[in-house]
Structure 1
Amino acid sequence: MTDSTRGILRAAAGLRRFRMHRSAPSPGLVPYAEHHWILHWDLREPHTQRVLTHPTVHMTFTTGGRARVVGIVRGVFGETIAGRGRVVGVRFRPGGFRPFLDGPVSSITDRHVPVEEIFGAEGRAVADAVIAEPSDAEAVALVERFLLARVPDRPDPLIAETAAIVARIAGDPSISRVDRLASDAGVGTRSLQRRFAEYVGVGPKWVIRRYRMHEAAERAAAGDEVDWAELAAVLGYADQAHFVRDFTAAVGTPPARYARECAADAGARPGPETIEG
């Protein structure tokens, strides 16, 4: 499947330091999971990768024994990798983790929860097996079997409906107002906000802003000259200054500087600290 780097900040630099692969879930998990992902690295020097997160929950199993469910991170997520290692992960659809959680998804927002806290001793046991398994394919199969055994007998139609609303936000940069989104979805604004808290983990306003920042960061990283005032207008901002403030707060650097950094990354060669395995 095609690997998108949307949300991975300064992706060109990062992809010289780790290898990433994604695979589609089995049919039984498609309503709940977007994909499985595998990250490998073999480094002489540590690398910190920053990610402008999506409105999705992840479950990850990392070399060294760490296994956790990562709720939506509203700031920039940073992870430092060093030495040699692997992460086996599942990215759930927006709303897709709700059936596996005893409570609203907002209860784990901005939290990294050990798998055993949600899935008990069986979760810890499968985590140990996944981390110890040398084959990527077999590790993914272990995760699949564990999750498939916990899929509810009756699908919740609100999961698909909520995922479709989130997909609409992602695909239409002109959406900037929650009341318009709610109206188009045929629900009240407060009802939509409650549903997002229950199923997604954050409010629809946050999702709108985050996808607008994804669009802006991707355009900045593309290497083409960007008319920032025009982009601000396309993304629903009344003025460029407001857009620049939001971008800087989300990404950590102003958009023009971020574009220059990405251009420099694209022209750089792998450093001696990187060992491609």
Structure 2
Amino acid sequence: MNGPTSSDKGLLRPQQAARHIDLRRYPVTGALGMYVERYWAVHWDLPEGTAYESVVIPHPCANLSFMPVIGAEVHGPGVAVSRHPLAGRGRVFGAKFRPGGFTAFTGIEAASVADWAVGAGTVFGPDVDELNAIVMSGGDEAGIEAVSAFLKARMPSGVDERYEELLGIVARMLEDRTLTRVDQLAAQCFTTVKGLQRLFGAYIGLGPKMLLRRYRLHDAADRLAADPGVDLAGLAAELGWSDQAHFTHDFKDLIGYPPSEYAAQCATEARELVLARR
């Protein structure tokens, strides 16, 4: 599996983010790419007295993150938006596992990983502290080299056919925007809804319905940021909601305010970004 199984969307108010942080993504090559989707890094250098909060719609993936002071942590698939207040100057580096990849890699039960945050030493042992020091003392390229070597040395042996099946299904969910219901997905994959629920529960700890809805919310937030004037009823129908009211409810339930308000925020940020670049 070399193709994408998680989106590169989810960062809210991307116009504002572009003024405050430098988000970089790096591919994972070789056999490790079966488990790890990509490496990522966030760099920031904010003027004294200013702060920025990065807000992200969660992905159905675990992350191994390397940070100054705090150290290395593992974060499981989240169920709520994640908030990251930033100030001063800094850098965070991470490895993003594929959906289900963390459980396939470590053998840790998926149900215990969902919405989980724990020191990485709990999972990978004390050597991860030295790894964090190496990653934080060098640049992104050094981090990629060090983390790749660390994880490759701990890769499971053999082939997990159920995990490979899961990756194929998740890739289909990500790519096919017409998939909006679990029964549709089950029919396309020649299985049952219960079969999908068992498979997703075993590896991700979240159900297929939640993943479908999460990917479509990624799409919705991305469209609203790029085109704040988009017709909301049409967008809701295009992404599989039965009507605008249900779309608004789900968007507000996860993000905290309705899509119309989010679109207005993005429109304001876009104008300010244009003015800042003049």
> Would you say same fold, with TM above 0.5?
yes
Match of 1:180 in 2: 184
Between the aligned partners of 1:127 and 1:135, the Cα distance in structure 2 is 12
Assess, with a 3 A threshold, how the Cα gap between structure 1 residues 164 and 137 changes in structure 2: closer, same or farther.
Answer: same
1:160 aligned onto 2:164: yes
- Report the CA distance between 1:183 and its aligned residue: 2.4
Q: Check if 1:74 corresponds to 2:84.
A: no
- Residue in structure 2 matched with residue 145 of structure 1 by the alignment: 149
What secondary structure does 2:37 align onto?
strand
For 1:20-40, what per-residue CA distance to the aligned partner results, in whole angstroms no more than 9, with x for missing partners? 211111212111111111111
For 2:237 and 2:143, locate their aligned partners in 1 and report how far apart those are by CA, in whole Å. 45
Counterpart secondary structure, 2:194: helix
Task: Within 5 Å, give how 1:120-269 maps onto structure 2.
Answer: 120-131=125-136, 133-223=137-227, 225-269=229-273
Q: Whole-Å Cα distance in 1 between the matches of residues 251 and 147 of structure 2?
A: 36
Please state how far the C-alpha of 1:115 moved relative to its aligned partner: 0.3
* Deviation (angstroms), 1:271: 11
Per-residue deviation at 1:222?
0.9
What SS is found at the alignment partner of 1:73?
coil
State the alpha-carbon separation in 2 of the partners of residues 130 and 105 from structure 1.
Answer: 27
- Distance in 2 separating the partners of 1:203 and 1:69: 21
- Other-structure match for 1:13: 16
Task: Compute the displacement of 1:146 (Å).
Answer: 0.6
| Greater displacement, 195-204 / 152-161 | 152-161
Distance in structure 1 (CA, Å) of the matches to 2:74 and 2:275: 33
Q: Provide the residue aligned with 2:61 in structure 1.
A: 56
Matched with 1:118 is 123
Find the aligned partners of 1:19 and 1:155 in 2 and give their Cα distance: 37
Query: CA contact under 8 A between 2:228 and 2:264: conserved in structure 1?
Result: no
Distance change (3 Å), C-alpha of 1:224 and 1:78: closer
1:100-143 CA distance string (max 9 Å, x none) = 32322231111111101111112233223322x22221122111
Any idea what the Cα deviations from partners look like across 1:27-85, whole Å, max 9, x if unmatched?
12111111111111111222111001111111100122421111011111111111111
Q: CA deviation at 1:219?
A: 1.1
- Cα distance change on mapping 1:18 and 1:270 into 2, 3 Å: farther
The equivalent of 1:41 in structure 2 is: 44
Corresponding residue for 1:31?
Answer: 34
What SS is found at the alignment partner of 1:85?
strand
Distance of aligned partners of 1:139 and 1:270 in 2 relative to their CA distance in 1, 3 Å threshold: farther
Matched residue, 1:85:
90
Task: Give me the TM-score of the superposition, normalised by structure 2.
Answer: 0.90
Aligned 8 A contact 1:104 1:197 in 2: no
Distance 1:106 1:77 in 2: 19
CA distance in 2, matches of 1:203, 1:209: 10
Residue by residue, what CA displacement relative to the aligned partner does 1:175-212 show, whole Å, maximum 9, x if unpaired?
22212212221222222112111212311010011111
1:231 Cα deviation after fit: 1.6
2-structure distance, mates of 1:5, 1:49: 15
Output the amino acid matched with 2:167. Answer: A
Query: Per the alignment, do residues 102 and 37 of structure 1 end up closer, same or farther by CA in structure 2, a change over 3 Å counting?
Result: same
How many residues matched? 268
CA-based RMSD of the aligned residues comes to 1.9
- Is 2:110 the partner of 1:105? yes
| Contiguous gaps of at least 5 residues in structure 2 | 1-6
- Using the size of structure 1 for normalisation, the TM-score is 0.90
